[in-house]
Structure 1
């Protein structure tokens, strides 16, 4: 770290796989990086591949990529490590925020002997490795070597503490609403459309939602289901919709860059995930005034949702229970209004300004001065 770093705003770099993906971690990275740049920080985003971004960045944010397209990191491991080191030293980076603890496997050797302080930012929950056993190793390396680990929920903080006995600094910073809170509820209460948003992958539980939907349309045949997103499970989900006989009441339009329009046109939001690191789509839906029906999965939804206050919750992987909850909300306008008002309050507590001003800047100051990045309770 350059001399005088404790008396000036640190130079920050966010290291990520790519920003050119319509996903929660990428969207939040762009949002936090832009908010810090707007506050006068020198901000870099370094993608491992692809200089394009699916989300807007503040004009002061510098975005670069190590490779134009995704390489084989087994073959390009040494080159990746070297390029990360060269970038950090060339741009006088003070704090490197790793958008996934898996990146520790690159940054630990890349920054050996340097003064760059590392922050590992976890977007999943501790007990989910997303099919990569190396992630479990990377998390433990991050805890032992990073200046701070950032997790999204207090439940996940406790899980990290229980699993890793080595002393380390950990902060809880929830994901922010990635856009300004709409000045009023914009979702039409009378719209007969249930909206779900996410990648078409097993984790999102859209197969469970289709099972539930087959029961819902028996009693609410004039309602429609829209699942926004793209992914490898599309053929299986389309086949399942046909098997259940609900293809005519289900649309899967793929990814939408105008996601706000989808929220504005729906009457109910449904999250059917088997697990979630946070569940950013819940905040987005609540910001627009959508009543929420959700599975009470690990870990984010449990932290965000209050039964009867801002959502109706059901056990994960329970299609019939999800159907009953959807029918309950569909059939009760007063409940929809109650949930919508509660959701708006939740979204208002997660604005970018509040979380950057009160959480991220405190974290960065602590990392730079060597006081750690722990949350106040730590």
Structure 2
């Protein structure tokens, strides 16, 4: 493994800023277009602008797909993502060194899996640790160690932050953890003054090209849409390991002329502005930033009714049309209903846009600020004696 990155760190807090305890977000990397990575940057930026001392410490790769406020200090332990099997002890030692060197008082783990590193790294240092869960408790993303890490987080972290009330209930019931708080993800873009014009005949789907996003189902659903509404186009925007297989499926279904697979882009706002509808075909979602972004731009939404994020944000017939998971025919039926009825599309879009302000960055940052302030003021240790 290459040595620790030596690139120059991000800027320091601006003159006159409130100092307070040093807060560090520990994550794998910011160099992928993912929801957890985007939220880490968004929350860190907002807290830094409020005068807090903010660090983002990545396990590997100091590059970022998202802009960071100059006051956010951004470092990486390694030049590349370390191997858990061969570099675990090195990572633990480097986290401990960083925490001590910079006087980190509050450590936010952007994935409970990181508890496997932070628990030994922070022993005896008095650091208040918070685990930030971006998935739902039923999913381990193919890593059985995540289940162990969640149990350790439930026992040793000052708080578990989850994205939905449904997931909070699961942590309380299944892991017997009472220190769970719900803070939804923030809208990572300013709420647009004007919604999208929706004059195009374009549906968009945005997300990483992975199995859980269900883009294979969306492609199958688009076959009858292409026949019934030949002037409509589907844009799937995202990067991921399934690009080749999804491209092959699109071509096999004969959708080359009406479905475009496009790489992820930093100016995702332009994608929403040019769209008339958002389609989400996920098999599960922790909390879908895509849905909140689409609501902000006044797009009608058709989505699968998956746990837990979709059910926390959308209600069938009120602000979206929902279909069962893994059901292309049902998904196609709901898409067709929205295309065929401009009145329905407008009603869904207006309902979504009315509620999006509660996800504004300032609102969510204030909730994080309150949580971190309460944890800073707490005394004593948790149930197994780890600070």
**Residue matched to 1:65:** 76
Distance 1:223 1:268, change over 3 A: same
Give the aligned partner of residue 6 of structure 2.
none
Choose which of 372, 375, 379 in structure 2 pairs with 1:367: 375
Confirm whether residue 133 of structure 1 aligns to residue 144 of structure 2.
Answer: yes
1:196 aligns with 2:212: no
Are residues 1:278 and 2:281 paired? no
The CA distance in 2 between the partners of 1:164 and 1:28, in whole Å, is: 25
Change beyond 3 A, Cα 1:371–1:348? farther
Question: What is the deviation of 1:10?
Answer: 2.1
> Separation in 2 of the partners of 1:233 and 1:28?
24
Q: Distance in 2 between the 1:292 and 1:371 partners?
A: 46
Instruction: Give the SS at the match of 1:252.
Output: strand
Distance 1:38 1:65 in 2: 22
Q: Between Structure 1 and Structure 2, how many residues are aligned?
A: 363
Matches within 5 A, 1:1-378: 9-165=20-176, 167-185=177-195, 187-357=196-366, 359-370=367-378
SS of the counterpart of 1:74?
helix
8 A contact 2:21–2:105 mirrored in 1: yes
Please list every run of at least 4 consecutive aligned residues from structure 1 whose deviation after the TM superposition is greater than 3 angstroms: none
Change in Cα spacing, 1:240 to 1:371, as seen in structure 2 (3 Å) is farther
SS at match of 2:298: coil
Partner of 2:9: none
**How far apart are the structure 1 equivalents of 2:266 and 2:199?**
24
CA contact (8 A) 1:304 1:346 kept: no
Q: How far apart are residue 277 of structure 1 and its match?
A: 0.5
Alpha-carbon distance change, 207 to 371 in structure 1, aligned in 2, over 3 angstroms: farther
Once residues 179 and 36 of structure 1 are traced to their aligned partners in structure 2, the CA distance between those partners, rounded to angstroms, is 15
Distance 2:64 2:255 in 1: 36
Please say if residues 189 and 336 of structure 1, whose CA atoms lie closer than 8 Å, have aligned partners that are also in contact: no
CA contact (8 A) 1:283 1:346 kept: no
Partner of 2:384: none
TM-score, normalised relative to structure 2 = 0.92
Partner Cα separation in structure 1 for residue 269 and residue 199 of structure 2: 18
Deviations 1:159-204 (A, max 9, x none): 1111112x4411000001011111121x222210010001111100
Task: Map Cα deviations across residues 36-72 of structure 1 (whole Å, 9 max, x no partner).
Answer: 0000100000000111111011110000000011222
Are 2:213 and 2:284, in contact at CA under 8 Å, matched by a contact in 1? yes
Q: Unaligned stretches of 5+ in structure 2? A: 1-17, 381-387
- Which TM-score applies when normalising by structure 1? 0.94
